[in-house]
Amino acid sequence: MKKVEIFTDGGCKGNPGPGGYGCILKQNDRIKEIKGGNPHTTNNIMEMTAAIVALKQLKEPCEVRLTTDSQYVVKGMTEWMKGWIRNGWKTASRQPVKNQELWQKLDKLSRPHSIEWIWVKGHNGHPQNERCDQLANEAIAEL
């Protein structure tokens, strides 16, 4: 399997408000940067969208290290997802899962791959996380 590193970030100016995301995909010496935005969204939606957009770039099963500063995304994919699916997309408190459609996309896009979900502290000098943050902010500025 090909090995791919993915770095993602998303954010908003106001929450909700105008938002953007940035992704970096790295395979060997090849690097691809992607950014996008939405005039009315939330931080969590942009964090999830970044991961979705990045995973959509993969055309075959890969070994992936996906690094994000979103604990929401990492915990959702590594801790909460199985319970949500088992409980019919309800939380432990029997409430509907927020952003269910996006979680389902992430689940579907993740299945063909072997993914290690890695959390890093945001705005803490991690070079790729800082670049993804910059891409997200550029996307917001372009709205």
- Catalytic center residues: 9-10, 47, 69, 123, 133
Whole-number Å distance between alpha carbons of 129 and 49: 15
Q: Which strand ranges, in their side-by-side order, compose the sheet holding 62-68?
A: 30-41, 17-27, 2-12, 62-68, 114-119
In the numeric block, which tokens belong to residue 24?
A: 């970096």
Instruction: Could you list the beta-strand ranges (E) of 28-126.
Output: 30-41, 62-68, 114-119
Angle between helices 100-110 and 43-56 (to 10 degrees): 30
CA separation (Å) from 23 to 36, 37, 47, 56, 89?
9, 12, 10, 11, 27
CA terminus-to-terminus distance, the chain:
38
